[in-house]
Chain A
Amino acid sequence: MKQNKFVLAFSIILFLISFGIRFYKLGDIPFGLYWDEIAMYVDIKSLLASSRDMHGGAWNQLIFPSYGDYKLPVYIWLATISASLFGLSEFSFRLISALSGIFTIVVTYFLGKQLFKESTHAKFIGLYSALMVAISPWSVMFSRTGFEGHVAQLFFALSILTLILTKNKKIFILFSVLFGVISTYSYFSVRFVWPIVFLATYFLNYPDLSKSIRFNKKTFSIFGTAVIAFILYFLLLIPFTKAPMYSEMQQFRYGTDSILKNDDYVHTTNFYRQAAGDTYFDRLIFHRHYLMIKELAQNYSDHLSLDYLFFRGDTNLRHGTGLYGLFLPTTILFFILGLYFLASSRPKQLAILIIWWLASLLPASVPETTPHALRSLNALVPLSLVIGYGLYCVIQKISTFKKKALSLSLLVIIFVVITTELLLFSYHYFSVYPTQSAAAWQTGYKDWSQKIYKYRKNNEPMIIIAPDDKFYLWMMAYGPYSGTEFNTWESRNFLFTTFDSITFGSVPAAQNDAIKEFIFALPNKQLEEFKAKNEYSYEHLESLPIINEEDTFEIVRVKK
């Protein structure tokens, strides 16, 4: 009874904290939508108005071409629902991610509870793990921005939770597969992670299997279920591979730099072999695959580094705050102790969590930019479970101390330290980080686009040379459009260069004598250059700041 009251009180506080830190100024901080976010935003605007995306594709297509990077559909669909309920805004757009964050906390609680079922305190383990998700800078940051990976991560965890429940009720395996598929349709690299974690968790969940495998009915049904589930998963991915633009998408994805394509390997190994004497043995030990595995190991190492996990985080300011790691600094202690306690008393759970963690790092370790907090987001839940278990063991050990005063004061210290860290992190996130990261979030583009339209009279022609070739997306998002017109406009390779008498990125267009009067928006240096060459009359409308640069973005009216 006492235990239940504690759990209830703890859950309420946990809920308030997670809700507060995820919803406070949601949509406003970080300042501004990033490329990928604004592209989805434009698609949603179009979907709401016309049930078609900005290029005229049907709402239920499985690949959204977006600006040529071929986006997956789940986040766009969910955010469209959210926008139809709350109106299209940055808030409704990022709401999906914030809710995913909240649900991840809930799922982590149940995962902890189910995974450590044998423990009498399974609920506490679940609660502490949920707390670790709730206050982890990693989860907080990705809950406040519209990245598909964050939604995928929720469904992934949900899939593993239902998989563990399969032991009680066979039918749950269908849900597990279903959530796995949804996760894959949210973030495509999950297809490499899910099968590994699925198989490992499934079989580790039947501990009697490893002791002696006998070919009886039970064993057969256990194996049979796994095989069917596995096949089902891949069957459900077929629609995706049959979708139009699938091969273009694959081509686009493999275009990024990765350890798989590096011409230096052959060059290096050839030199090594020649130098060593080129015997058969040399060909074996100086092999290009070994160099590739080394690169992979190095990339894994970057993700496994404690420095990255607890102190540095991802240096990309969209994926990290620059000051914090993925988890709060002191939780490193609970992490190390968690690993130790799991290894000594719960090896099965440790195996599941480690496999989950390592498999999640695979999509992040093959490409060249490492460590990558977004691509490895599936590791959030297993790591939180390890830290949560460590915290649980520490609290458990402390409360058995004979000296009650000592144990109480230690518990208070832990509480105070974690609270202080959380407060300091929130302070950093809400006061300094937004300004510091402004450039990374394309802050200012929204303002520019709104100002440009403000000065426009009677649909006069406009020529815009922005520092960013995707600026048209902000014009579409914040311009006076309902969204129905987007798919009537012409695009090339899914990029727009002219619409609604607006031309993007072209100086010759401004010199075209057919246009007598137009609005011209461009950085000040380029404007000065243009002015020096062309003697037109210029009416200065407004100078807008460019973040982190001394230059300004100028809006002028040109008359010839």
Chain B
Amino acid sequence: MKSYYLLFGLVLVLVCALRIYNLGSNPPAPYWEEVALGYDAYSILKTGKDHHGNSFPLVAFESFGDWKPSLYFYTIIPFIVLFDLSVISVRLPAALAGIATIFATASIVLLLFKKFYPSQKNNYFYIYIFALFIAGISPWGIIFSRAGWEAMLATALVSWGVFFGIKLYESNDRQRVYLFFTAFFLLLSLYAYHATRIISPLLGLFFTGIFLQKNSRNSFKNLFFQSFPTIVVSLLLLIPLVSQLGNNEIQHRFTETSIFTDIRIIEESNELKNLAGNTVVSKLLYHRYLLFGREVLSNFLSHFTIGYLFVFGDENPRHSIQYLGQLYPIEIIGLIMGIFFFMKKKSVYTFFLFFWIVIGVLPASITFASPHALRTLATFPAFMILIIFGWIYSVNLLVDSFLKYGKNGRFFVPFAYTSLLLIYIFQLTVFWRFYTHIYPLEHSAQWQYGYQQLYEKVTQLRRHNEGIPTYVTRSLGRPAMYYWFYQKENPIDVQSMNKVIQKDQSEYLSYKNLYFNTSFTKETKAIVALTKKEYDEYISNGNTLQSLEIIVDKRDQPIAYVGIYETK
């Protein structure tokens, strides 16, 4: 018995360490969405209003005009209380959500294992640990647990919702409790991330159907009694969202990223029709809906290529380290075997897992930039379940074939699992070594690395030159938010300027005597921060900056030039 707990403890430490170790410094700096999340949470904590002055937004925060779902902001608040406004506070909710997701995944695996292998009672705990380990070290899960990704929070909620949904289907007592938690987690996830606003309702429908089918013989009164708490909490959770549904601000996000606004496809359709002479058949065959349908299918299928899943991963370096895919290479075997296993089982879970993956990939299929590991993060647990069962099935197959040859197959089980674990540990080492040593150097620009150093220098100069205006370039992205974040600027000051200041899509273009542009030459004296390109252009005319400091990245490449400008 003791060895169980020792193993469990080791895996638990590993899973947590992979998510929490050096959380504040790798990824090397907070991405602009992270500082926006952090500062708005800080603002809510201090004043009850976001930085635009909206008090306690329930559905979405205006932020940079992209109307971010609200839940993640509120989860940051307790950590700001504990650790002040810092990168760690912004990232901890995602890290904890990542850990919660792994536990949900392992719990689902255990539920299904009990169903598929009822005779292997002795293995339950080992299977649980095995599942924790496999899911816990997956690059896909680790990467998105280590920055302020709202999608990770949504995934944790979805996976716990699914866990209770399966409990609801599998057990005969405590229906009320399971139903309540299924609804609670799935509904809450609507407030966590855009994509789950499509995924969770569909999953919810599925579980409602299962619940009703299971209780089809129950009287209406009984049914009502069973589901009463659920109905109450559902209504409570739905009202704010439904009341905002018609709101343009929510739809804005969809129209911005949807492929249905892609003019190229309409042009292609028209060109093909013209080439065919606008015949009736051509109007049908080259109809824009068909071409859009093909585009959606293409995007959908792009999430199931070997290159994306196992070799390079998402093209965006924030979503994948680029050296490995979203999953480990060896998992191609596990995934194929897992799919085969579930297809052979032909149980309701076969349908359910494929349904989960299909609807999980759907939001990413109707938007630009696919394959997209972040928008499809809610399918991560489903992929892990397939892979874990793929391994369990493979080992059992091998054991069976060993037994056939008259050897003692049972000895083979630990051997098979051990070699699998060794392969995994090797892959994890490669991943971790790359992620900790090379990734921060290679992709620091993707994380807006340098703002902290830049503002340290700017503040130092401002202290020595009081009253002098400051000009910070916008080319590095969202300079105002970074200023407030690093200065822990008083939110009341920021809110008070909301109405007066010129903005671009809700982003402040100036703040007090800071101006986020490069037209500093109209001043007689100014503190200036420029990118390399802007600086080179400026000095090419023989100009100079005084008390110049060059902000460099981790490979000593210049990011920004900070100094004082003065007319001659």
**CB-based contact B441/A275 at 8 Å:** yes
**CB-based contact A311/B294 at 8 Å:** yes
Give the interface size bracket for B toward A. Answer: 20 to 34
Q: Which residues of B contact A272 (CB under 8 A)?
A: 323, 434, 438
B436 CB to nearest A CB, Å: 9
Q: Which residue of B lies closest to A277 (CB)?
A: B437
CB-contact partner of A276 in B285, B308, B329, B438, under 8 A: B438
**CB-based contact B307/A275 at 8 Å:** no
**CB-based contact A432/B282 at 8 Å:** yes
Interfacial residues of chain A within 298-333, with CB under 8 A of chain B in the complex: 298, 300-302, 304-307, 311-312, 323
Q: Which residues of B contact A235 (CB under 8 A)?
A: none
Interfacial residues of chain B within 438-479, with CB under 8 A of chain A in the complex: 438, 441-442
Chain A contacts to B: CB under 8 angstroms:
271-272, 275-277, 281-282, 285-286, 294, 297-298, 300-302, 304-307, 311-312, 323, 340, 343-344, 424, 427-428, 431-432, 435-436
Q: Which residues of B contact A301 (CB under 8 A)?
A: 305-308, 311
**CB-based contact B310/A276 at 8 Å:** no
**CB-based contact A431/B276 at 8 Å:** yes
Q: Is B238 close to A, CB under 8 A?
A: no
B423 CB to nearest A CB, Å: 13
Q: Which residues of B contact A344 (CB under 8 A)?
A: 340, 343-344
**CB-based contact A311/B305 at 8 Å:** no
A377 CB to nearest B CB, Å: 21
B434 CB to nearest A CB, Å: 7
Known: A276-B438, A294-B311. A304 touches B305 (CB 8 A): yes
Q: Which residues of B contact A312 (CB under 8 A)?
A: 298
Q: Is B421 close to A, CB under 8 A?
A: no
Q: Which residue of B lies closest to A279 (CB)?
A: B433
Given contacts A301-B307, A306-B301, A344-B344, 5 further A-B contacts (CB under 8 A): A276-B433, A282-B433, A302-B307, A427-B276, A432-B275
**CB-based contact B301/A275 at 8 Å:** no
Q: Which residues of B contact A431 (CB under 8 A)?
A: 275-277, 279, 282
Chain B contacts to A: CB under 8 angstroms:
272, 275-277, 279, 281-282, 285, 294, 297-298, 301-302, 304-308, 310-312, 323, 329, 340, 343-344, 429-430, 433-434, 437-438, 441-442
**CB-based contact A432/B276 at 8 Å:** yes
B151 CB to nearest A CB, Å: 24
**CB-based contact A297/B311 at 8 Å:** yes
Q: Which residues of A contact B437 (CB under 8 A)?
A: 275-277
B415 CB to nearest A CB, Å: 22
Interface of A is mostly: helix
**CB-based contact B433/A307 at 8 Å:** no
Q: Which residues of B contact A323 (CB under 8 A)?
A: 272
Interface of B is mostly: helix
**CB-based contact B344/A294 at 8 Å:** no
Chain A to chain B contacts (Cβ below 8 Å), 30 pairs: A272-B323, A272-B434, A272-B438, A275-B437, A275-B438, A276-B433, A276-B434, A281-B429, A294-B311, A297-B306, A298-B311, A301-B305, A301-B308, A301-B311, A302-B307, A304-B306, A305-B305, A305-B307, A306-B301, A306-B304, A311-B297, A311-B301, A343-B340, A427-B276, A431-B279, A432-B275, A432-B276, A432-B282, A435-B275, A436-B275
**CB-based contact B307/A298 at 8 Å:** yes
CB-contact partner of A305 in B275, B301, B311, B340, under 8 A: B301
CA distance A282 to B308 in the complex (A): 24
Q: Which residues of A contact B429 (CB under 8 A)?
A: 281, 285
CB-contact partner of A427 in B285, B302, B343, under 8 A: B285
Tell which of B281, B305, B430 has the most Cβ of chain A within 10 Å. B305
CB-contact partner of A340 in B282, B302, B308, B343, under 8 A: B343
CA distance A312 to B298 in the complex (A): 8
CA distance A305 to B299 in the complex (A): 11
A188 CB to nearest B CB, Å: 27
Known: A276-B437, A298-B312. A307 touches B302 (CB 8 A): yes
**CB-based contact A427/B281 at 8 Å:** yes
CA distance A343 to B276 in the complex (A): 43
**CB-based contact B301/A307 at 8 Å:** yes
CA distance A311 to B299 in the complex (A): 11
CA distance A428 to B294 in the complex (A): 16
CB-contact partner of A424 in B285, B329, B438, under 8 A: B285
CA distance A187 to B298 in the complex (A): 32
CA distance A343 to B344 in the complex (A): 10
Known: A275-B441, A298-B307, A424-B281. A307 touches B297 (CB 8 A): yes
Q: Which residue of B lies closest to A323 (CB)?
A: B272
Closest CB pairs A-B (n = 7) = A301-B307, A301-B306, A307-B301, A276-B437, A298-B307, A432-B275, A305-B305
A213 CB to nearest B CB, Å: 14
Q: Which residue of A lies closest to B298 (CB)?
A: A307
Known: A298-B307, A306-B304, A432-B275. A311 touches B340 (CB 8 A): no
B202 CB to nearest A CB, Å: 22
Q: Which residue of B lies closest to A337 (CB)?
A: B343
Q: Which residues of A contact B277 (CB under 8 A)?
A: 431
Q: Which residues of A contact B343 (CB under 8 A)?
A: 340, 344
CA distance A68 to B442 in the complex (A): 43
B371 CB to nearest A CB, Å: 11
CA distance A311 to B343 in the complex (A): 25
A417 CB to nearest B CB, Å: 15
**CB-based contact A428/B312 at 8 Å:** no
CA distance A344 to B339 in the complex (A): 12
**CB-based contact A428/B305 at 8 Å:** no
CA distance A431 to B280 in the complex (A): 13
CA distance A344 to B344 in the complex (A): 8
Q: Which residues of A contact B297 (CB under 8 A)?
A: 307, 311
Known: A275-B438, A301-B311, A311-B294. A432 touches B305 (CB 8 A): no
Q: Which residues of A contact B308 (CB under 8 A)?
A: 301
**CB-based contact A428/B344 at 8 Å:** no
A425 CB to nearest B CB, Å: 9
Q: Which residues of B contact A282 (CB under 8 A)?
A: 433
